Amino acid sequence: MDTAVWIVIAVVVVIVLLALLMLFLRKRQDVRRTKAHQIRENATGQVSELRQREAIAEESDARARKAQAEADAKAAEAKRLNEQARAHGTQAAEKREEVESTLARADELDPDVRGDRGRVGDDRHHDPAGREGARPGTPGAGAHNPETHPGRHESGDHLPGGNQPGSNQPGPPRQHP
Return the higher-pLDDT residue of 100 and 142: 100
pLDDT of residue 118: 53
Burial class (CB in 10 A: 0-12, 13-18, 19+), 99: middle
* Segment 25-47 mean pLDDT: 93
Q: Is the pLDDT of residue 125 over 70?
A: no
- Summary mean pLDDT of the chain: 77
- Cα 151 to chain centroid distance, Å, stands at 51
* Segment 62-68 mean pLDDT: 97
pLDDT of residue 141: 42
Q: Is the pLDDT of residue 63 over 90?
A: yes
* Segment 128-152 mean pLDDT: 46
Q: Is the pLDDT of residue 64 over 60?
A: yes
What does DSSP say about strands 156-157 and 152-153: parallel, antiparallel, or unpaired? antiparallel
| Measured torsion, CA atoms of residues 33, 36, 41, 42, in degrees rounded to the nearest 10 | 150
